[in-house]
Amino acid sequence: MADSAETDWVSRFADEVISEAERRAPGKAIVCASGLSPSGPIHLGNLREVMTPHLVADEIRRRGLECVHLISWDDYDRFRRVPAGIDPSWADHIGKPLTSVPAPPGSRYANWAEHFKAPLVTALAELGVEYHAISQTAQYTSGAYREQILTAVRARATIDAVLSRYRSKQGDGAEEGGARGAYFPYKPYCDLCERDLTTVTNYDDETTELAYTCECGFGETVRLAEHDRGKLVWKVDWPMRWAYEGVVFEPSGVDHHSPGSAWIVGGQLVGEVFGGQQPIGPMYAFVGITGMAKMSSSKGGVPIPSDALEIMEAPLLRWLYARRKPAQSFKIAFDHEIQRLYDEWDSLGRKVAAGQAQPAELAAHRRAVSTAAGPLPVTPHPVAYRTLASVADITTGHAEQTLRILRDLDGVETLAEVRPRLDRARRWVELHLPADQRTRVRESPDQELLDSLGQAEREGLRLLADGLDDWTLEGLTALVYGVPKLQAGLPADAPATPELKTAQRAFFTLLYRLLVGRDTGPRLPTLLMAVGAGRVRKLVGA
């Protein structure tokens, strides 16, 4: 069992799910579920749909209980719109199942759904997410839901009555496939054009004969008891699956919890129509990206999990989802804020190692670095991310230069010690550090600037050059902060005052201008170490 001191949200949900599962189906595997539509990029907001049940299911497994995490790929959903950047001719496929739509141009995948599923499948493997995948195309076309479809059709009047409570005065028939406004919960895909632009014109409950016409002009009569080219409308499909799979835990986004939404309606239909029970279903808040508006797959250009894993290690990404309750929103950093997040993560690691972490912090850390199946890969020698990013920026990824600097900085003997974090920091510099912020060390002294300096500035540069003998990060840090103190007649341990801070800023700006031709840059001690003592002396005119 979990440590009773762990009071994090995951443990509390696991307690609740275990208790509910024992009440519903004692002795059976506990079922947690996620649902994802591969209609476009599956972004970092969608990832919360996976990570929330994953963390709960993983905690249940840690306690020695059998738990299955289902991921339902809603790949039998209709293709609704052509995303930005895709050939407008793809509009000809609107209304087809996602698995019947060609993949975007240049893709190596068989269809639209597989193209957008693939990056997430790879990311989930790196994140240590254990799950059982279900393709809704396979389920529907194999006839797996045949009895459930017939049940829903027989209960169409009951379903219609429930939906009527939420319809607007103007009527809400977006999902309804019957003629003359009659409600019908099943939508056939046309056998000719494959689209769902169909209307059910007649249905016989005794024979299950169903007649439909399509906007393309085609029409036919089929036996629903044998028909496998259609699906239940969404507000009926979801509760059907809860009952069919025996789902005990499934979260959903805030958009599913408004009156008349699929979650609210499904909660009423699951028992009355399908004889099942609604899962425990926490509402989860949106995940944002620093510097970006709310994510939307349909607009394109949104970061997906594999984008995040290019610049951060899997444990850090897991931690961002584990440490916040589902109802709390949070942001994932692709800008300089990632350096602060890594500082926070490393600080937590030190607290955990020292036995100083609070129970909830300890639980979130453990869930980030391991699963019930074992630990995730970590960087053996975790040099600060901001330092690695600075080194990668200064050296432009040159391996020998990088190793020289990291050996001087932190005693690193091989680059393998600082991987994969080094590779993530390097990718961040390549992909997300603006070009005007990239560091390019001057090849020759800025003689014009040197000639314009006053006596005090020249003296500061001389003091810096004379102090470069202590070639450690601590020594260089003390040096760059200490020169303005010496010039002010203050001891090295003098406390910072407004006047001293102003003098230090002016000195730092001068050094940056002489070394990299800008007013700012990487942390000065790291920059000095990267440039090397001889070259620093040359560039500052000493």
Query: Per residue, what are the HEC states of 213-245?
Result: EECCCCEEEEEHHHCCCEEECHHHHHHHHHHHH
Give the three-state DSSP class for 143.
coil
The pLDDT score that the predictor gives to residue 521 is: 87
Helices (H), 436-542: 447-451, 455-466, 473-487, 498-516, 524-531, 533-539
Give the pLDDT confidence of 410-458 residue by residue, as tens digits.
899 999 999 999 999 999 999 999 888 889 999 999 999 999 999 999 9
Residue 296 has pLDDT above 50, yes or no: no
Confidence of residue 283 (pLDDT cuts 50, 70, 90): very high
Q: Distance between CA 100 and CA 78 in Å, rounded?
A: 9
Min mean pLDDT across 96-100, 281-285, 350-354, 473-477 is at 473-477
CA dihedral 62→63→65→71, nearest 10 degrees, is -40
Residue 173 has pLDDT above 60, yes or no: no
Q: Distance between CA 483 and CA 504 in Å, rounded?
A: 8
The pLDDT score that the predictor gives to residue 534 is: 92
- Which of 349, 330, 375, 325 has its CA nearest to residue 56? 325
The pLDDT score that the predictor gives to residue 59 is: 98
**Average pLDDT for residues 486-513, to the nearest whole number?**
92
Residue 375 has pLDDT above 80, yes or no: yes
**Average pLDDT for residues 87-107, to the nearest whole number?**
96
Give the pLDDT confidence of 216-256 residue by residue, as tens digits.
999 999 999 999 999 999 999 999 999 999 999 999 988 77
The pLDDT score that the predictor gives to residue 493 is: 85
Residue 299 has pLDDT above 80, yes or no: no
The pLDDT score that the predictor gives to residue 353 is: 96
The pLDDT score that the predictor gives to residue 3 is: 42
- Which of 131, 240, 139 has its CA nearest to residue 185? 240
Residue 1 has pLDDT above 50, yes or no: no
> What mean pLDDT value characterizes the chain?
92
**Average pLDDT for residues 20-26, to the nearest whole number?**
96
Confidence of residue 291 (pLDDT cuts 50, 70, 90): low
Confidence of residue 170 (pLDDT cuts 50, 70, 90): very low
212 near 223, Cβ under 8 Å?
A: no
Confidence of residue 175 (pLDDT cuts 50, 70, 90): low
**Average pLDDT for residues 156-174, to the nearest whole number?**
76
The pLDDT score that the predictor gives to residue 294 is: 47
Query: For the chain, what percent of residues have pLDDT higher than 70?
Result: 94
Give the three-state DSSP class for 335.
coil
Q: Which burial class, exposed, middle or buried, applies to 234 when counting CB atoms under 10 A from its CB (0-12, 13-18, 19+)? A: middle
199 near 230, Cβ under 8 Å?
A: no
CA dihedral 121→127→128→129, nearest 10 degrees, is -50
530 near 405, Cβ under 8 Å?
A: yes
Q: Distance between CA 450 and CA 454 in Å, rounded?
A: 9
